[in-house]
Amino acid sequence: MKEIPLSVPHLNGNEWEYVKECLDTNWVSSAGKYVDKFENDLAEYIGSENAVATVNGTAAIHTALKILGVEAGDTVLVPALTFIASVNPIAYCGATPVFVDSELDTYNIDPEKLEAKIKELINKGQKPKTVIVVHLYGQPAKIKEIAEICDKYDVYLIEDATESLGAKYKDQMTGTFGDFGCFSFNGNKLITTGGGGMLVANNDQWAEKARYLTTQAKDDAVQFIHHEVGYNYRLTNIQAALGVAQLEQVDEFIKKKREINDFYYENLNSIAGITVTRELDESYSNYWLSTMLVDKNEFGMNSKKLYKKLRSEGIMVRPFFKPINEMPIYNENSFNGENTQKLWDEGICLPSSVTLSQDELFYIIASIKNSI
């Protein structure tokens, strides 16, 4: 059997037609009808007032932080269990990330620990400016409760929804609870534009500011006068054409990802020591990546060994993200994240491409069962 990838794109809709139109009409750069259409379609899909297309998800998070005025001396709360791109934009602004532990049912920021951290920082006279919540692997965080905490303490909220397009919490789309929501259309994401991102906000002025900052902050479009340092963060029309075609298929992709998760759950969850991740009753996951925890004592092998074995058999699994507080650049010794540590010790991401075949799924299950 050839290698089974973790998560690959599926470009089987109107991608060719829309991209060809860009090439045929010479609209290849950052202006053009597909950029506007992609923004409008995405805003409508998730139920946001505004959407601003960006070159990638990292740029969307950076732009959100800039608009909220995050700067040197500020602190921003963020989970330690995430991809580095949730945290680096804080450093781009010269601010300091302060890590919050995750919870074991969603793998995302624990609302109680978040509130305790906000109180602790306020008592020290270091009130955080913003919280960044990540909906990791497509599982919604308890974002409604988190938004209420942020409101209570008057702290801004950014949702890193880069992995959770189409996922809902209490019937509302992730990315629409915070002051800003950020999406990614990187090659391995639910829908892809090759590379790309989107910033969404209900606040019209902030959306306008995002459009301004992501297009070099031009104050005079003729003379190119600039009063602020802007960025070249705008998505191109060719990428947006891909995005429009991909978004047409998003619900189909989610359906497939949810079937894959059901299959893993039905075939693996009864094995001693394996817990396949499932959504909460109040959540609707997009299962961008299906994941599982491996208890080494009960399963008889730890997750890192199982990872190596599956890789050697051509199955592209991946361990959970290494906690960011352990990275030399963000070394934070005071962080006490017992759940973060457990999730890093035990977590494995399973192949989750929408193109996974039944044979491949059976092969993955057999390989895991043969490890016992």
Ligand X SMILES: Cc1ncc(COP(=O)(O)O)c(C=O)c1O
Q: Is 344 helix (H, G, I), strand (E, B) or coil?
A: helix
Q: Which is nearer to ligand X, 74 or 163 (CB)?
A: 163
Q: Which is nearer to ligand X, 135 or 367 (CB)?
A: 135
Q: What is the largest CA-CA distance in the chain?
A: 69
CB of 309 to ligand X, least distance (A): 25
Residues lying near ligand X in the complex (CB under 6 A) are found at 56-58, 82-83, 85-86, 134, 160, 162-163, 184, 186, 197
Single out the residue of 18, 55, 40 nearest to residue 241, CA to CA: 18
Single out the residue of 344, 358, 368, 339 nearest to residue 274, CA to CA: 368
Q: Which is nearer to ligand X, 254 or 271 (CB)?
A: 254
Q: Which residue is nearest to ligand X (CB)?
A: 57
Q: Which is nearer to ligand X, 197 or 273 (CB)?
A: 197
CA dist., res. 180 & res. 205, Å (int) = 12
CB of 81 to ligand X, least distance (A): 10
CB of 112 to ligand X, least distance (A): 22
CB of 78 to ligand X, least distance (A): 10
CB of 39 to ligand X, least distance (A): 16
CA dist., res. 115 & res. 152, Å (int) = 10
Q: Which is nearer to ligand X, 39 or 160 (CB)?
A: 160
Q: Is 276 helix (H, G, I), strand (E, B) or coil?
A: strand
Cα dist. 314→81, 181, 228, 299, 308 in Å?
Answer: 26, 36, 50, 21, 10
Q: How is residue 27 written in tokens?
A: 């609209």
CB of 365 to ligand X, least distance (A): 26
- The residue length of the chain stands at 372
Q: Which is nearer to ligand X, 50 or 184 (CB)?
A: 184
